[in-house]
Each structure stands twice: as structure tokens, then as C-alpha cells.
A and B are shown apart, each in its own frame.
Chain A
Amino acid sequence: MDVRAVLLSGNEAIAQGAREAGVGVAAGYPGTPSTEILEALVRSDAQRRVHVEWSTNEKVAIDVALGASLGGTRALVTMKHVGLNVAADTFMTAAYTGVRGGLVIVVADDPGMHSSQNEQDSRYYARFAGVPLLEPADSTEARDLTRLAFELSERFDTPVLLRTTTRISHARALVTCGPIAAVNVRGFVRDASKYVMLPAFARKRRAALLERLGTLERYADECGLHHVDRGSSRVGIVTSGIAYQYVRELVPDVTVLKLAFTHPLPVAAIRSFAGTVERLLVVEELEPYLEEQLRGLGLAVEGKAFFPRDGELTPERVREGLVQAGLLARAAPLSVQAPSVPVAVRPPVLCPGCPHVVSFMALRDLGAIVAGDIGCYTLAATPPLSAMDTCVAMGSSIGVACGIARSGGADRPVAAVIGDSTFLHAGIPGLIDAIANGTRITVVILDNRTTAMTGGQSHAGSGATIRGDQNAAIDLAALCRTLGATTVDVVDPYDVGATYRVLERSLGSPGVSVVIADRPCVEAPRKIRERPFEVIEDRCVACQLCLDLGCPSIGWSSERRDGRPLVTIDVATCSGCTVCAQLCPTEALVPIAVAAGSGHAS
């Protein structure tokens, strides 16, 4: 056994903890910042002792994990915060059924919305469902608490929620790894009164849940997962998760009660801590989850008066809050060597050669109202494409498009645009709804065969599992035809003319028209690089039509025509997709000339 400390991200540490606990089944749906947990599990398991899968969506993932638990093996399910909304139906009732093998649900929150549509605080879900909640504060705790979560799950016959945030999941820290445990399967045992939630059975399980909560309240105090860093008795700070690290760093001499088991709260420990300090302060990210419960205990407590409820906590924001609260003196402004001019803005953009670009350009030019969805392609809402009108939640595009079409307020054709992974995740019921109710919309499925936004994870339409094993990919066109779409067209979005023609026809046709824009992602699962393009400057009239693609490979040269800059293409990043060359009215964009002597030149 290698006992040397290694650098693990929180996500890798959770995977390690699950292996040390002998996890047998792990399921999830990719979502920042949770994605790497299952990927690390696969890397750690060349012997294939664990069944690991990318599930169709988080609801299916938690169903698979619950089933595995009832089969008597330890099961892990991973998702981002909004994924827990999708899984919530099963999650809430799994708290009734309880488990056989330990069932651990990892939810990774994204405070600050680095890559999300909201920043909900998932800790409330633990209170809502009545299940134990664990919050690690670094990678070692992530490993330790994951291992413990499986034990708690079996000991108290309950699913356990392990909640991380971006700065836990995506921060690397030193972890001394323990040995990987064998997978232990206890077998499935029939127990309808526990696992069949008929009302008569569910009522009894509801009572069992409440009784269990009482037991957990006592355990929360006894388990010793909280500790006190003793300092002056003037102020005591109650905190958990990443906030603890900032507090310890900024005010190392203040007395701190650090919590890791945050539902149910260790009430006796909190009361006794409060009794040892003159003033009680809570430092926590996002919602006043701890603060309100402490206030509910009758304690005089402050928190969100000083620390923001929105956005991610940073050392600067915690420092500002501590200054406001009078715990820190305001430091003299640092002579920070900040630039005296604005730096160039650099929002994220679609990649060079992204196959999504043409579909959006066409929809915009054809005047459609575009209900968009979650993925890289949400970036098409920004200039220069500016071709998306709504984006709310995974799979929402189709239902929202139906609603817009039925509102009586749509003066233009209505299109839903959805990626292939998102379509399989939650788009199919929307399409069925449109077909069943005869709502006239066009559904554009951007089929790049991967889950690109999170880094290229496979899905049911990719033709491979998370381990890279080949499987039969879902045929999206056949699926849509079988469901009864009025028309189903498959078009190559690198063919600009064909894409415009198909979309124009579909937007003008009655019924539910489906257009599948079929082109693999240029970045995953493998980088696609065709011969790059270059600009023949004599032909370029500097019309800059190609710039409307927003392609990061196209920029300006130092040459001018009538004062306007000619365009240039960065050969290092150009993927050779040909789309700019198809647009160019003067045929100025051509495949790069092959070096002399190689036999052919353009």
C-alpha cells in the first residue's frame, strides 16, 4: 500500500473514498462541478470491480443507485445541484424506503454559477427529505466523509447526502490514500412493506423516517464530526465547508466551531459552543442555512448581515464581511499593480469548427423564435450569433417552444434547439408532448454524439459506455420518426446551403418538424483537425462576413482595404470546417497551400 500523500481534487477524493468503502455500483449524469467523480472511479478501477455508468439523467442515475442498494451493494450517485432537482422525486421517497447497501448521493453546488443556470443551495434538500447531510472542507475530508457516509447509510438505513461546492470539488489537496475495499454484496431480500411505497406502507415508513431523524439528531452530537478551534471568547464563528478554510486563514485566532455533519445539526454542541462566546457569527456560502436554524434554536446570531447571500465566497469577500462584523481592521489599500486600461474582454465562445454555429446562424436569419437549452450551444445567445431567446433548464427548450407557439403571441415560427445529450436527458417527453398535442414547432437536435459542455462524456447516443466499451447508439432520427414527428430531416451543419434549406422548409411546414444537425464535436471524443484555411489577400474585400460566425480562429491582418482590415485565419487553431469559405462572397478563403514539393497545392 502506498501511503504517500498524493494531490487529489475533491472529486477524485470522493471516488477514492467510495473505493475505500467498497462501492459496487456508481451512476451519474455529467454536470460541473461533479463530473470528474465517476471518471476518477473508472480510472481507479481497471479490474472493473465496480459497475460505473453515465445514466440517461440524474433521475435514472439515482434509481439505478437505489436499486443497487436494494440489491445489497454499496451505491454512489453523483450530480450537480440542478441535477438533484431532476432526481428529487426518487430522492424524497428513498428517504422513506431506506437502503440495504449504503446509498450515498453526492451533489456538487456551483456558487457563483461558473457553469450553471442557478446557484441553489442543495443543503436544504437534506432537511426537505430528512436525510443526513455531510459537508467536506477539503479533499481529505471529502474522502473521509464519503467513506463514513456509506457506513452511516447502512447503520441508520437511510440515503446520505454529501454536498460539495466548486472549491471543494475542483481544488486539489494532499490526501493519504487508504486501501481499496472489496465489493461486498448482501443480496436482494423481498420486503414489500419497506420497498413498495403504497400509501399504507408509505405511512409507516414516514413514521420510521421521523423516528430515524430523532436518532440522527442524537448521533449528530455524539459522532464527533464537529470540532472547536479555541481562541478568544469574544466572538465564536460557526462555519462549514470551504468557508471554514477562509475563516481560519483570515482570523486564525478567533474561536471557531467547524461543522461537517450539517443535517441534523449537532444542537447540544452548538448550544454549548454558544455559551462559551460573547457573540455568535455564522460564515457560510449562499443561503443562511445554518444561521436560520441557529436562530431557530433561540440563539442570537449574525451572518448574512455581513456576508453575501449571492455568489461564491472568496478570501476577499470573507475579509470584507469580517471587517464589516468588526473582527478585522480594514487593511490599507494594497498598491495593487492593476492595469491602467481595461483589458480585452474574453467571454467563453464556441470553438473553431463548432458544428452548432451554422444552425443558429440560419435560425436567426430565418427569423425564428428560438427556445434554447443547456450546453455549449447556449453560448449562441451571445454576439455575434445572438440567436437564442430562452434557456431555462435541461430539456426545457421543447416544452417552452410549445408554450410560446400556443401563447398566441408568436408572430414568427418557433424552434426548440437542443443538444443530443440534453435531448436524451429530458427532451424526449417534450417532443412527445408536441406530437401528442399537434403543436406546430420545429425541433432542432444538435447531434454531436457527445456531452461536450462537461468535457466530452459519452451518452446513449454516442455508441460507447463510460469505460469506452462499444454499445448500440440510440438512432435519434429513427426514434423521432417512431414517436410520430411529421417530418424528420438529417442534415450536415457543415453544409451551409443545405442547412438553410432544410431549416427554412421545416419552419414553414405544419406539425412537428425535427431537424437533426449531424456532425461530431470537433473537440471530443477526439480532436478533429482537417487542413486549415488561409486568406488570399488579393481576393478579400474586407466585408467581414466571416467574422459573423464568431469563430475564434478568424481575426484581422495588418493589411487594409479602404481603411477596413482584411481577415486572417490562425492556422494553429483552424479546424478546417469550411464554413467560412462557404460564406465568403469572393472565394478568398481556401485550404492552406501544401508546402512546395509535397505534390499538390490549392
Chain B
Amino acid sequence: MPPDTVGVLVAGVGGQGVILASAIVADAARRSGRDVKQSEVHGMAQRGGVVTSHLRFGETVRSPLIELGGADVVLACEWNEAIRAAAYLRPGGTLITSALRIVPPRALADRRTGRVDYPDLFEHLDGLDLRACDAEAIARRAGHPKAGNTVLVGVLAGLVRFADDAWRAAIAANVPPKALDANLRAFDAGRALRFARPARGSRRRAAPAPVAAPPAPRIVIDAAWCKGADCSLCVRACPERCLGFDGGTAVVATRPDACTGCRLCEIFCPDFAIVIRSVAA
């Protein structure tokens, strides 16, 4: 890639304003006389999924996409997306990120133990030029809780030296007029932040102590007391769909391993035909 071209990858979750943040930086680059290309994907990806906007500016920009390992800066509006997008950073690149964690529904991995598959940024990205801040809290203090991305753009302004006028005009051209003052304050607050460059490994934390597994639930059914398929209250109540009739007259546990032990079946059964017992692991 031409050495004069700067690549900024903006990443976040659908609905966070990723494309708007990218548009502000693109506009500031344009106002600073740079050639600019900006590319993103619309449509299905924006339904709470991952959104990235590729932004490149310089003397002459050809490709609208940044190559993996070619981004000078990743600007992430969310913790998990910062880690995903970090693969785009060139060696020595800068990761600007909000501390905001948006845990996706699919990360709620195990309903019985409460295991969440969501990574810890500090454990896995040490040695980076990491500039993380609580952008939402800073934005709230600036007067607009949704101006968190503008705080991050302010942090970027400490790295990408466009004229102050270009930044302010770009923000004014892209945010709603009534939110402009708060966004300019958010931008200034972001630009004023100072980040210590961490020594390699300094942020590594000890692994959390393993949590003792809760006792496994066991479904105990008294077939003689069950009224059968005409009732089905427990079958319908079960969130994990553990119960069924399998052709018989009494309910049976069709997926016993999926039981989380919530006892809804036990609570709903009018005939005391089903109870959940805990079995120590």
C-alpha cells in the first residue's frame, strides 16, 4: 500500500453509529485536502450484528478496503468488536476503543452455569498501543449520552492531525444541529484524554478463579400421578423443551441433559407428578 495512505477501521455493533463516526472522519479528511474512500456494508449486518466501516485517506486512494494487517488505527465502539477488529491493525498500530460491553444473546452460553463467552480485552491484547476509555460516561458528562463515538473521534484526532476547523466542520455537517454543542464538547473531551503506553504484559491479569459447577438437576416423574398429554402444562412451560410424551401416557424427560433446574415444571404441575432434584457434581 502507498505509505502515505492512512487506514482507519471503525468497528462496532449495528445501531451504534459506526457509519456516522466513520463519515465524520472521512469528511474531516476531505476538508483537509486528502483523497478519501470509505466503505461499509448495509442491510442485514446492521440488525444487531457486527458493523465495520473501512476508511482510507491520503494522496491517491484506490482500494476502499483496508487489507488485514494494514490498519493504522482501529476505532471500536464496543469491547468485543475491538478485539475482532484488532486483526486488521498493522504492527505498531493503535487500538482506540470504548469500554462499552454489548454482550450478544448468543454469548450467553450456558444457562445452568451462567457461562458467558465474551472475552476480556486486557488479557488478550497486551503490548498494543491501546487507548481505551469509558466513552459513554465521558459523553454523558459532555451532555449527550449518545455522543460516545464522538469522544473516540476526539481520541483519534490526537493521532491524525487534521486542522481543528476541519474536525469541527465535519462534526457540524454530520450530527443533528441540536446535538452539535454536546458533540463538540465530547470531541474536545476525547482529544484531551491522555493514555499511558503500557509496557508489554503490564495489563495481564490473573485468570479468574474457577467457579464451582452448580449441582446438576435431575427430573423425577411419578408416572402414576401424571394426567398425560391432555394436560401438557409442564411440556409447554419448560424453557429448554426437556419434556415430552414420546407416545406414552405419562410425561418423560426427552432431553434430560438440557434441564437447567429452573423448576417451572414442578411449579406448574397441578398433580405434584414432577419434581427436580439436585445431584452434586
Contact with B along A327-345 (1 / 0, CB 8 A): 0000000111111111111
- Residues on A with C-beta less than 8 A from B70 are 315
Per-position 1/0 for B241-281, Cβ under 8 A of A = 00000000000000000001111100110000000001000
Tell me the residues in window 93-112 of chain B with beta carbons closer than 8 Å to chain A beta carbons: 93, 103-108, 111-112
Task: Answer whether residue B86 sits at the interface, using C-beta atoms and an 8 A cutoff.
Answer: yes
Chain A 540-576 near chain B by CB (<8 Å), digits 1 or 0: 0111110110111011100010111100000000000
With both chains docked as a complex, state the minimum distance between the C-beta of B52 and any C-beta of chain A, in angstroms.
11
Contact residues on B (Cβ < 8 Å of other chain), bracket = 35 or more
Residues of B within 8 A of A340 (CB): 124
A454, B69: Cβ atoms closer than 8 Å: no
A96 to chain B, nearest CB (A): 34
Does A298 interact with chain B (Cβ within 8 Å)?
no
**Complex alpha-carbon distance, A570 and B137, angstroms:** 16
Give the residue name and chain of the A residue nearest to B239 (CB). A545
Which residues of B have CB within 8 Å of A544? 111, 239, 260, 262
- What CA separation (Å) do A552 and B124 show in the bound complex? 26
Residue among B45, B118, B263 making CB contact with A344, cutoff 8 Å: B118
B117 touches A344 (CB 8 A): yes
A355 to B117, CA, bound (A): 28
Partner of B42 from A170, A339, A542 at Cβ < 8 Å: A170
The segment from A179-187, A244-252, A589-597 found at the interface with B is A244-252
Contacting residues, chain A, for B104 (C-beta < 8 A): 344-347, 349, 552
> Of the candidates B23, B64, B106, B268, which one forms a contact with A347 in the assembled complex, judged by CB atoms under 8 Å apart?
B106
State which residues 514-553 of A face B: CB under 8 Å: 541-545, 547-548, 550-552
Please report the C-alpha to C-alpha distance between residue A541 and residue B266 in the assembled complex, in whole angstroms.
Answer: 12
**Is there an interface contact between B44 and A339, defined as CB atoms closer than 8 Å?**
no
Contacting A543 at CB < 8 Å: which of B1, B46, B264? B264
Residues from 11 to 43 in A contacting B, C-beta threshold 8 Å: 32-33, 35-36
CB contact list, A129-180 vs B, under 8 A: 138, 166-167, 170-174
Query: Of residues 66 to 107 in B, which have CB atoms within 8 Å of A's CB atoms?
Result: 66-70, 80-81, 83-84, 86-87, 89-91, 93, 103-107
Bound CA–CA A430/B48 (angstroms): 32
A544-B239, A560-B114 known; A337-B119 Cβ under 8 A: no
Tell which of B14, B62, B70, B86 has the most Cβ of chain A within 10 Å. Answer: B62
**Closest CB of chain A to B206's CB: distance in Å?**
16
Chain B contacts of A376 at CB under 8 A? 44, 47
Decide yes or no: A315 and B67 within 8 Å by CB, A172-B39, A339-B83 being known contacts. Answer: yes
Q: A7-B38, A174-B36 are in contact. Are A348 and B45 (CB under 8 A)?
A: yes
User: Are A32 and B91 neighbours in the complex by a CB distance under 8 Å?
Assistant: no
Interface residue tally on A, bucketed by range = 35 or more
- Interface residue? B237 (CB, 8 A): yes
Taken together as a complex, chains A and B put the C-alpha atoms of A315 and B37 apart, in Å, by 14
Q: Cβ of B32 < 8 Å from any Cβ of A?
A: no
Instruction: Provide the bound-state CA to CA distance between A172 and B34, in Å.
Output: 13
Q: Is the interface of A mostly helix, strand, loop or mixed?
A: loop
A349 touches B260 (CB 8 A): no
Residues of A within 8 A of B158 (CB): none
B262 in contact with A542 (CB, 8 Å) = yes
Residues of A within 8 A of B239 (CB): 543-545, 547-548
The answer to whether A455 has its CB under 8 Å from any CB of chain B is yes
Q: Given A33-B42, A172-B26: A350 and B47 within 8 A (CB)?
A: yes
- Asked if A336 contacts B69 (CB within 8 A), the reply is yes
- CB <8 Å contact, B125 and A339: yes
**Centre residue among A249, A346, A585 by max chain B CB count within 10 A:** A346
Given the complex of chains A and B, what is the CA–CA distance between A345 and B105 in angstroms? 9
Bound together, the chains give a CA A380 to CA B106 distance in angstroms of: 14
Complexed CA–CA distance, A246 and B63 (Å): 5
A binding-site residues for B, Cβ under 8 Å: 5-7, 32-33, 35-36, 114-115, 138, 166-167, 170-174, 242, 245-246, 248-249, 314-316, 319, 334-351, 365, 376, 379, 383-384, 453-455, 541-545, 547-548, 550-552, 554-556, 560, 562-565, 585
14 contacts between A and B (CB under 8 A): A32-B42, A172-B36, A174-B30, A314-B67, A336-B91, A337-B128, A338-B87, A339-B125, A344-B106, A345-B117, A350-B48, A541-B267, A547-B105, A551-B105
Known: A545-B237, A552-B105, A563-B214. 10 other contacts (CB 8 A): A167-B39, A173-B61, A174-B30, A336-B69, A338-B86, A543-B264, A544-B260, A555-B105, A563-B215, A564-B214
Binding site for A on B (CB under 8 A): 1-2, 13-14, 23, 26-27, 30, 35-50, 61-70, 80-81, 83-84, 86-87, 89-91, 93, 103-108, 111-114, 116-119, 123-125, 127-128, 213-215, 236-237, 239, 260-264, 267-268, 278
